[in-house]
Chains A and B, each alone.
With several copies, the nearest count.
Chain A
Amino acid sequence: DRITVFAAASLTNAMAEIEAGFEATTGHEVAVSLAGSSALARQIQQGAPADIFISANPGWMDALESDGLLETGTRVDLLRNSLVLIAHGPEAAPVEIGAGLDLAGLLGERRLAMALVEAVPAGIYGKAALESLGLWESVAPRVAQADNVRAALALVATGEAPYGIVYATDAVAEEDVTVIGTFPAASHPPIVYPAADLANRDVAAEAAFLDYLRGPEARAAFERQGFIVVAD
């Protein structure tokens, strides 16, 4: 069988490994379409021939679920991520992230790079975290919102913005930034990547793939990219 997986673009590397492993072990073919969760979800609403959807946030999965586009009972929370504060340069000093952090003071006239705070998951989570820590009011005017978390990272990496808020997974491989703190998990809603089987088709490979995602090979692949795999 051949199945099509719609996956959030932030999973690109992990999905490449998983795709190869799954094809080798099961003999099924997999095509992975990588794009923003919103684009993928809209395409599914418009009848895209996707079998599995892995979203970078629960919101779009909720929307599909309420449209009845999910195979009931197949939705799982697959991955978790954490939010970190990053600074430009390889050797920035760590800070204590909490209500007492003078983030506005650190920024001065400069900018804090985030993903879109109303629209893109990393931005929404980041705003929530800053709000819960009581920091949002003071830094809001200094926030530069990128269209996705990778663009926010690039702003810090180039030094255009001295600080930024990104996923822990994004910060790992970038030499020009340093993680100077991790936001407490309680400061924002849980960052969850849900996965589900879509209701349009029913082939054996779908279930096999969902199983494989939660298997040890996939776990290793996800962890190599810095994700936290949600235990059943």
Chain B
Amino acid sequence: MDWLGPEEWQAVALSLRVSLWATVASLPLGILAAYALARWSFPGKQLLNGLVHLPLILPPVVTGYLLLLTFGTQGPVGGPLSELGIVFAFRWTGAALAAGVMAFPLMVRAIRLSIEAVDPRLEQASATLGASPPWVFVTVTLPLILPGVVAGAILAFAKAMGEFGATITFVSNIPGETRTIPSAIYAFLQVPGGEDAATRLVLVSVGVAMGALLLSEWIARRVAARVGGA
């Protein structure tokens, strides 16, 4: 299609890649954190809880700045990692990290609520049939929380598609590397006459996210129908 320029298509493709990776890579951690918060009690649980929510509370610029300080090539985490060849700073991986961090609280909350709604008596029944706790999780808990996991993933994906403040602050706005749709929109909005291009990008972004949303609803309905009967 020619109503988007090549740079804009690049931003769309990049946003998709960043959001997908942010979602997929944070999902296992999100499930783990949600499970820990819902079911375990351990010292520092409330600390973990707070930490998970932090990106929601902080203005995105602050989160981005903290990421820059921590995961930048000079940072206490980014430094050692860059020695190992893992670089986030000013790479699309960094954009994915920022988007993942910003979306994490949403993902964890959704999954946690689902876990809390699982009847523990079903998990007990599974244990009496010989399933060890990891197997109980995989064969009972996980299938039962699937709607919550899907909801959490879609929230995270949508959030990642829209994430801007932390991303631009952390990894800047480099075309083809870190210029996601929201960053491109931002740049267009900073100059006279950029509104049309911005609007086009907004439409693409909304279209993609809505598609993902519909897909997730469909998945959730399928899962619910399976559990409900027939």
Contact = CB atoms under 8 A, between A and B. Distances in A.
Direct contact of A and B (CB under 8 A): yes
Interface of A: 4, 6, 9-13, 31-36, 38-43, 46-50, 59-60, 62-63, 111, 113, 116, 118-120, 143-148, 150-152, 154-155, 158-160, 169-170, 172-174, 225
Most chain-A CB neighbours within 10 Å: which of B64, B186, B191? B191
Contacts of A10: 190-191
Most chain-A CB neighbours within 10 Å: which of B72, B90, B178, B192? B192
6 contacts: A10-B191, A35-B173, A38-B191, A39-B168, A150-B189, A158-B68
B137 interface: no
Q: Is the interface of B mostly helix, strand, loop or mixed?
A: loop
Nearest to A36: B190
A36 B169 CA distance: 9
A13 B89 contact: no
Contacts of A33: 172-175, 178-179
A49 B187 contact: no
A34 B187 contact: yes
Most chain-B CB neighbours within 10 Å: which of A12, A31, A50? A12
B133 interface: no
B65 interface: yes
A34 B173 contact: yes
Interface in B189-213: 189-194
Most chain-A CB neighbours within 10 Å: which of B69, B75, B90, B187? B187
A152 B169 CA distance: 8
A31 B179 CA distance: 11
Contacts of A62: 192
A47 B173 contact: no
A63 B174 CA distance: 23
A101 B52 CA distance: 47
B190 A119 contact: yes
A35 B64 CA distance: 13
B87 to A, nearest CB: 10
Nearest to B175: A31
Contacts of A160: 68, 72-74, 89-90
Contacts of A48: 89-90, 172
A41 B174 CA distance: 15
B174 to A, nearest CB: 5
Given A12-B188, A43-B68, A151-B169, 20 more contacts: A9-B190, A10-B190, A13-B193, A35-B173, A35-B183, A40-B172, A59-B192, A60-B192, A63-B192, A111-B174, A116-B186, A116-B187, A119-B191, A144-B90, A146-B169, A147-B165, A150-B191, A151-B172, A154-B65, A155-B68
Contact of B173 (A49, A60, A147, A172): A147
Given A13-B193, A173-B193, A46 B169 contact: no
B186 to A, nearest CB: 6
A168 to B, nearest CB: 11
Given A38-B189, A116-B190, A160-B89, A46 B73 contact: yes
B192 A174 contact: yes
A159 B74 contact: yes
B190 A38 contact: yes
